[in-house]
Chains A and B, each alone.
Chain A
Amino acid sequence: MTEPSTVPPRSNRRLRQRLDRLATGVIAASGIGVVVAVLAIGVYLMLAVLPLFDDAEVHVDAAPSVADEGAIHAVWLANDGTRWLTRDGQLRDAEGEVATLATSAAITAVAEAGDMQPLVLGLSNGEVRLVPRDDRGRLRWAQASTMRLFEARGVAALTLRRVAQGWVLAGRDSQGEVAALWHTGEATRRIAVPETAEHIALGHAGRLAMAQGTQLTLWELSPDGGGKALARTDTQAPVTALSFLQGGRTLIVGDAEGGLHRWRLSPDDTGWQAAETSYTNLGDAALRRLIALPRQRLWLALDDSGRLGLYQSLSGQRWQGQAPVTMPPTAVSINAQGTQVMWLDEAGTLQRLAIEAPHAAVSPATLWIPQVYEGHSDAEWRWAAAVTGDEEPQYSLVPLAWGTLKAAAWAMVFAVPLALGAAVHSACYMSRRQRARLKPAIELMEALPGVVIGFVAGLFVAPFVERHLAGTLALFVCVPLGSVACGWLWRILSRRWGLHLPPVSAGIGLMVPLALLCWAALSLSPWLEAWWFGGDLRAWMHQQWGWDYAQRNALIVGMAMGLAIIPTLYSLAEEALSGVPRPLAEGSLALGATRAQTLWRVQLPAAAPGILSAVMIGAGRAVGETMIVLMVTGNTPLMSPSLFEGLRSLAANLAIELPEAAVGGTHYRLLLLGALLLFVFTFVVNTLAEMVRWRLKRRYRRYGGDV
């Protein structure tokens, strides 16, 4: 140190001490700050994921009182609850009448289907009145048109649904006769249904569900004016309420004993899926109303005793409580987000229900237990969270977890033998100098970015292996046999001609023969393939075992990710092996054991915990590796155990879907749940591994090792 060695003056001492305290404080603060910051990752993920599992809530808000006599006769209520239509066609608000809709008879039924479809009013003379909407979804009362649905009797109930180029309307008259109107473009056709029903509901593509007592019938209406019965089934108790959910593929049936059941259209829409699903009952009273909400396949169920429940198609009952009034609503309106339901009851009072269930479609069961999804006939684990329109999102994390573990497992299958073999070789058979040379090479290998390995594997190795599958598989047999053969040859040569080649350089010396061997195996494999597998191993596998071959598959990801984790595994395992106190190995050798015996009986058992921790840390890396999996696997969320099919891992899924997911939505939070799973898994595995390593080091130190 070049500082002058004069004693600092006394006045300086206080300053120096203050400076010392300050610096210590700053260092401590930033040190603790860093530790807190890194722990914040876990905390943040936890906080972001927790809302997924919040309980759903339905609040009954104090609604603005309606001081209008006409409200008692309301049949329709606007979205915001400020205007309503009475039975005789008056559009009113709290102040009084706003407009009048000319009708030839009293309004007896109402149907709506979202913000862009017309409002349909059924009249007591069998006609329907259609109120169109403009581009912004505002109702045009003045442009209402009239069509006839029933000849004589009045309309008792209506149900409306949007189809590809228009809408379908089905109605029931006071005697239970059913008829429908199919509107496409300009033409509207009437379809007579020769059935009687107490309850009707329209699903997608003109599927009409009708219930009469305990009989449930599914009809197919067609745009050309025809129709036919598809299925007739019996329910356990008389049906009292029917409703199709968002998307129109799932029917909810409420019965007189309070039972709630789900019926799903089969994948080809020609009948029901094999089994109905029952939900938790509200009580024993008959179900009175089912109100399907426009989002998340949610619905409200109201029974005769005034109990109210919120349900989701897959996750079941989310909330149960008491309805604000026991009287069933005369007019109901739901906002487009499905977060607010207003109803007017027979007494003319307005009720407002606020529904807080932003992530109702997610429950532990929907995440981890197979579900029967719309459009599929069996219970399956599926992941398809980014959906458009009215498709049902499939939120099972199992395919992603499976893909992650599958990729990691195959990577370990490749990496563990190679890395441990290399570690054993360098710890037991290499000189200190050779080891010191090998280490930087391995460190360089560790530094190779995943994106480079992934791109070579995905764009070069994958097509190559596809063409030379037999050769690649042959390598797994040829290389071990070949290297042993090389050793044998070497020994014979050195004995016969007295060549004194240093045997320790086996690792380096084998590179050239192995390269030649690989080349030979690959170039001979076409003959092998032609001879045994009829020229094409992939076709043969498909024929014999029904295995499909995807170009980017688990085999490639195993090789690529294996290469990526070999350095980590090697470094840690080598550290554990070379840390075994020398006296142990030397004692064993001195007692007459061979090197191999010493290795298997002394060194490996002693280093076993360290090797285990190396394997754990390697597994942690493999589970979280993103780019390689993203580039090499094809990213199909399949649940196949096959080595030759693709997969999608949690990490790759994050990279693909997170930039597109709406912030705060169910999909976004589920992706964050995936990230949390990765975080927790690697954190736990690494902590265990660190603890094992620490104990091992302490043990070595006790035996006199120099770690």
Chain B
Amino acid sequence: MRIPRVGGDGVWRWLSGACVALSLLAVVALLVLVVTRGLAHFWPADIEQLTLDDGQRIAGIARGSEAGEQRYFTANRDLDGQVWRWVETQAIETRETPPELLYAERRDWGPFIGRLTAVETPAGERLQGDEAERRLRRALAGDAEVTTLHVRNVEGRALEVEFAQVASLSWPNRMDIGDKLAAWGHGVWRFLSEAPSDGNTGGGVWPAIFGTLLMVILMSLVVTPFGVLAALYLNEVARQGPLTRLVRIAVRNLAGVPSIVYGVFGLGVFVYGLGGHLDSWFFAERLPSPTFGTGGLLWASLTLALLTLPVVIVATEEGLARVPVALREGSLALGATRFETLRRVVVPMALPSMLTGVILAVARAAGEVAPLMLVGVAKLVPEIPVDGEFPYVHLDSKFMHLGYHLFDLGFASRDAEAAMPLVFATATLLVVVIVVLNLTAIILRHHLRARHRALEHS
């Protein structure tokens, strides 16, 4: 290639700079998109009431626009059969935000937007107007009882909603910024603490959070000792030669083996192999319905432990290699055995790097979905796998996982459009968890390197 001698410098600098900029831009755009959409889902936005030029009335929350059309979240799936509405901007005659419009989240059929006409009390009273609203507010606060709500959508179609069906209820157009912030916080809390409802398109993700956590904890319990021991063997015990080099290459390679292959291995060896045998030995009375012979928490944790093993080994080895040889030799010269040197000198110094490895492994496992699809994740398991019944932690049960929940909501749910806001919220949660874990690992490693540098110079 002929490169101009003068002036060529700038072109390459700027082109390569553009590569950095573009990569960072893509990531930033992705994160901003996910986080803003995810968090906006809980914001009680104003409900607009539109009157169209053909006399139609629509009430909904504006969410995005495209080429002269505005998109409204109109809720009321039971009345309209859909929850989103594209409205031509030109067709809108009036736009108002009536304070009496309420937004109710129901356990079935998703949210409702409309007006309150009356409430019924357990005594059979039927309250209307302001009295109904006062009573409802008290009922929401837990001070009074209400059985049924009579509501109408903006077109005037009436609907009865059981009070027990209402997960939350608010009048967003009357809220000031403080109220809205409080409602936002409440929404986020409910998202984190409740089980999914309404065919996974509503409610929260608590079982998925718990399932992910439990799976990751079980996985760390397995991967930490084995990963650390394997690294100790490679770095401290085995004779350094072509064989250890080969093994090291093999371990590094395993980090590059597609995660789905681990899933296949887990399915074939753990689920069908080990699980099948466990079933025929201990749970023969339940056959042919499998106990351990189907995907579950234990197999998922073991599979992911295998998957993250190279991460722990590589990080630990890196830490072990950084321990100055002089310290080791000093310890040995003072008469300590090799095990004592390891236990008292080498391992304590390499501890932070082991921790880094485990954190990275946890971050990897939390985001990994493909192998789980084969070894035990489920669409919907409202009960968490820990309860008061022996053996308390049910290793054979299927569990929910944030990453799989995300996939399921976006690609396999019956109403992907309605689930979209929730998909973004789930993605935000997943991204936050993984970013926090990784940042911890990065900071830990940074400090560690600084400490070692100081040690080497002293």
Contact = CB atoms under 8 A, between A and B. Distances in A.
Contacts of B39: none
| Among B19, B306, B313, B411, residue most surrounded by chain A Cβ atoms (within 10 Å) | B19
Nearest to A626: B370
Contacts of A22: 339
Given A44-B265, A452-B430, A459-B423, A483 B17 contact: yes
Given A626-B259, A678-B258, A483 B373 contact: no
B14 to A, nearest CB: 3
A35 B24 contact: no
B125 interface: no
A23 B313 CA distance: 18
B39 to A, nearest CB: 15
Contact of B309 (A38, A440, A449): A38
A596 B4 CA distance: 9
A1 B331 CA distance: 10
B37 to A, nearest CB: 9
B363 interface: yes
Contacts of B264: 45, 654, 658, 671-672, 675
Given A23-B342, A27-B233, A31-B238, A627 B309 contact: no
Given A37-B306, A425-B20, A450-B367, A596 B8 contact: yes
B262 interface: yes
A594 B18 CA distance: 20
Interface in A11-57: 16-17, 19-20, 22-24, 26-28, 30-35, 37-41, 44-45, 48
Contact of A451 (B23, B258, B406): B406
B398 to A, nearest CB: 12
Given A445-B23, A450-B367, A597-B5, A509 B15 contact: no
Given A34-B309, A654-B264, A447 B13 contact: no
Interface string B42-76: 00000000000000000000000010000000000
Given A31-B232, A38-B254, A41-B261, A488 B10 contact: yes
B323 to A, nearest CB: 14
A455 interface: yes
Contacts of B17: 425, 429, 483, 487, 506-507, 509-510
B3 A600 contact: yes
Given A514-B25, A627-B369, A24 B339 contact: yes
A328 to B, nearest CB: 42
A687 B407 contact: no
A474 to B, nearest CB: 15
Contacts of A627: 369-370, 403, 407
B407 A479 contact: no
A503 B13 CA distance: 9
Interface residues of A, number: 118
Nearest to B264: A675
B27 interface: yes
Contact of A19 (B339, B373, B403, B420): B339
B82 to A, nearest CB: 17
B287 interface: no
Interface string B388-428: 00000000000000011011001100001000100100010
A447 B367 contact: yes
B230 interface: yes
A441 B26 CA distance: 12
B403 A678 contact: no
B65 to A, nearest CB: 13
A599 interface: yes
A410 interface: no
A600 B232 CA distance: 42
Interface in B242-286: 245, 247, 249-254, 256-265, 267-269, 272
Given A19-B337, A31-B233, A455-B423, A449 B20 contact: no
Interface string B417-446: 000100100010011001101110010000
Given A31-B238, A655-B260, A44 B269 contact: yes
Interface string A408-449: 000000000111111011101100000000101111110111
A34 B226 contact: yes
A651 interface: yes
Interface stretch (A218-226, A281-289, A297-305, A615-623): A615-623
Contacts of A16: 337, 340
A20 B442 contact: no
A17 B438 contact: no
Nearest to A445: B27
Contact of B407 (A3, A506, A599, A631): A631
A682 interface: yes
B367 A449 contact: yes
Interface string A475-503: 00001101110111011000000000001
Interface string B330-353: 000001011110111100000000
A453 interface: yes
A591 interface: no
A484 B435 contact: no
A28 B234 CA distance: 8
Interface in A374-424: 417-422, 424
Contact of A417 (B19, B268, B335, B367): B19
A455 B230 contact: no
Nearest to A621: B256
A624 B258 contact: yes
Given A456-B34, A483-B21, A654-B264, A35 B229 contact: no
B416 A447 contact: no
A507 B20 contact: yes
Nearest to A600: B3
Contacts of A529: none
A27 B438 CA distance: 29
B427 A452 contact: yes
Interface in A618-638: 620-621, 623-627, 630-631
Nearest to B271: A663
Contacts of A599: 12
Contact of A17 (B262, B337, B439): B337
A515 interface: yes
A35 B230 contact: yes
B368 A449 contact: yes
B321 interface: no
Nearest to B258: A624
A651 B370 contact: yes
B22 interface: yes
A505 B84 CA distance: 45
Nearest to B262: A41
B384 interface: no
Contact of A690 (B22, B66, B253, B368): B253
25 contacts: A7-B335, A23-B338, A30-B233, A31-B237, A38-B309, A44-B268, A438-B20, A440-B439, A441-B24, A451-B367, A487-B11, A507-B19, A509-B17, A510-B14, A514-B21, A518-B25, A563-B30, A595-B9, A626-B258, A630-B370, A654-B263, A654-B374, A655-B374, A659-B373, A686-B252
Interface of B: 1, 3, 5-6, 8-28, 30, 33-34, 66, 225-227, 229-234, 236-238, 245, 247, 249-254, 256-265, 267-269, 272, 306, 309-310, 313, 335, 337-340, 342-345, 363-364, 366-370, 373-374, 403-404, 406-407, 410-411, 416, 420, 423, 427, 430-431, 434-435, 437-439, 442
Given A428-B16, A675-B260, 16 more contacts: A16-B340, A422-B20, A425-B16, A444-B435, A444-B442, A448-B367, A448-B434, A450-B370, A480-B18, A490-B14, A507-B16, A563-B26, A631-B407, A651-B370, A683-B257, A687-B250
Interface of A: 1, 3, 7, 16-17, 19-20, 22-24, 26-28, 30-35, 37-41, 44-45, 48, 417-422, 424-426, 428-429, 438, 440-445, 447-456, 458-460, 467, 479-480, 482-484, 486-488, 490-491, 503, 506-511, 514-515, 518, 563, 566, 570, 594-597, 599-601, 617, 620-621, 623-627, 630-631, 651, 654-655, 658-659, 663, 671-672, 675, 678-679, 682-683, 685-687, 690-691, 694
